[in-house]
Amino acid sequence: MTTNNPIDPVKLDKLGQVAIKVGLQLAEGQDLLITSPMSAAPLVRRITEHAYKAGAGLVTTIYSDEEATLARYKHANAASFDKAAGWLYKGMAEAFSNNTARLAISGDNPMMLAGQDTDKVSRANRANSAAYKPAMALITGFDINWNIVSYPTPAWAKLVFPNDPEEIAIGKLAEAIFAASRVDRDDPIAAWKEHNGNLKTRWSWLNGKNFAALKYTGPGTDLTIGLADGHQWKGGASQAKNGITCNPNIPTEEVFTTPHKLRVDGYVAGTKPLSHNGTLITDMQARFEGGRLVELKASKGQDVFNKVLDTDEGARRLGEVALVPHSSPISASGILFYNTLYDENASCHIAMGQCYADCFVGGKSLSQEQISAQGGNSSNIHIDWMIGSNHVDIDGVNADGSTEPVFRKGEWA
């Protein structure tokens, strides 16, 4: 690479500001824990500066490194892949329990583990998920304000734009990230306020309707997703249990809620590839009975996804259902990002595994037992995959069985 920086420093600084002021709305004196790939350090520095300007107590960053990760797969003994840094995750859980905010920077090479032994990958993921669960529970339970943003790392950029020189690819991915994150505007904070208002209009309408189920029809799809008892729709800005209103995902185009873990029936076709642990899973076809995914086929990556679905009892049941119009800016870009944070915001999607407690009326005060009794799913995984397109219709099903249009040809009806 030349000394010319393909990443616009002004927009990168705006992204750092949006992460703190919109994503986290970091409170005066609040500590912040960041996780990031080493190659995303330029964004970490911008975020850290804006955090301290906003009055942060202490900012701590934990970096990951692709070369170090791959060294484990090349050289570690077999027993290594059943281990995880439980001490680290206990520390993170303790930090979150003490109201530390959480910020994750995504940008790891999505294909980093593509050439590795799938058994080792799945064992390492299982160990990691189990160790991380106490900390993850405080995130999915929305105890704290948290946020995910992205940085255009070289390996990710070359995957998205394989025909361009590295520097051009990084510049293109940076601009796509900045546009999706609304930091290409003169006033990104005002743009987010307007966008959150539009999302609120959608989820308020859905909460008013209080549908019992959603019915999806389209090519390869005839699926009914029952919604959890006492579910509520959310989207965009949301208040955490600590009283802070944050935007967990930047970007976001979705409104979402909790399906009932026992009331999903029919079959559904994936409409976009899913990038998971170095494998691109394509042309997915799934069949559900009584809420459980009983059969999954894919033209590529089928074995990998089925192994993930065997993680635990809840891995084959749904934890989230989300609505995104086909005309969303990320869909309109025509880019496959190989990154769920972006690809899920290009299409209606569902997620296997853990539900979000906040997607219940009064969810902040419900126990795990109450959430389960109302149909909420529990699992060590949460994996989104895309089932929407401009050929898919969605109807809301009322308690009396009558229906009304929600989406037609991939757009809000």
Claim to verify: residue 111 and residue 32 sit in the same structural domain: yes
Range of the structural domain that residue 68 is part of? 9-180
The answer to whether position 243 is within a domain reads no
Could you tell me how far CA 195 lies from the centroid of its own chain?
Answer: 18
Claim to verify: residue 57 and residue 168 sit in the same structural domain: yes
Report, in angstroms and rounded to the nearest whole number, the Rg of the chain calculated over CA atoms: 20
252-276: burial string, b at 16+ Cβ within 10 Å, e else: bbbbbbbbbbebbbbebbbbbbbbb
Is residue 7 within 8 A of residue 46, CB to CB? The reply is no
The answer to whether position 276 is within a domain reads yes
The answer to whether position 270 is within a domain reads yes
Coil, helix or strand at residue 49: helix
Claim to verify: residue 149 and residue 291 sit in the same structural domain: no
Overall pTM > 0.85: yes
Claim to verify: residue 230 and residue 283 sit in the same structural domain: yes
User: Along the 413 residues of the chain, how does pLDDT read in single tens digits?
Assistant: 445 889 999 999 999 999 999 999 999 999 999 999 999 999 999 999 999 999 999 999 999 999 999 999 999 999 999 999 999 999 999 999 999 999 999 999 988 998 899 899 989 988 998 999 999 999 988 999 999 999 999 999 999 999 999 999 999 999 999 999 999 999 999 999 999 999 999 999 999 999 999 999 999 999 999 999 999 999 999 999 999 999 999 999 999 999 999 999 999 999 999 988 778 899 999 999 999 999 999 999 899 899 999 989 999 999 999 999 999 999 999 999 999 899 999 999 999 999 998 899 998 889 999 999 999 999 989 999 999 999 999 999 999 999 999 999 999 99
Look at residue 364 in the predicted model and tell me its pLDDT.
Answer: 82
Claim to verify: residue 231 and residue 163 sit in the same structural domain: no
The answer to whether position 247 is within a domain reads no
Q: Tell me the C-alpha distance between 13 and 355, whole Å.
A: 33
Claim to verify: residue 140 and residue 211 sit in the same structural domain: no
The answer to whether position 151 is within a domain reads yes
Residue 267 has, within 13 A of its CA and on its CB side, a CA count of 10
Give the CA dihedral 15, 329, 341, 178, nearest 10 degrees: -20
Look at residue 2 in the predicted model and tell me its pLDDT.
Answer: 43
Looking at the structure of the chain, the number of domains it has is 2
Report strand pairing: 146-150 vs 101-106: parallel
What is the helix (H) or strand (E) element at residue 221, kind and residue range?
strand 221-227
Claim to verify: residue 228 and residue 294 sit in the same structural domain: yes
Claim to verify: residue 175 and residue 209 sit in the same structural domain: no
> The tokens 């119009």 sit on which residue?
325
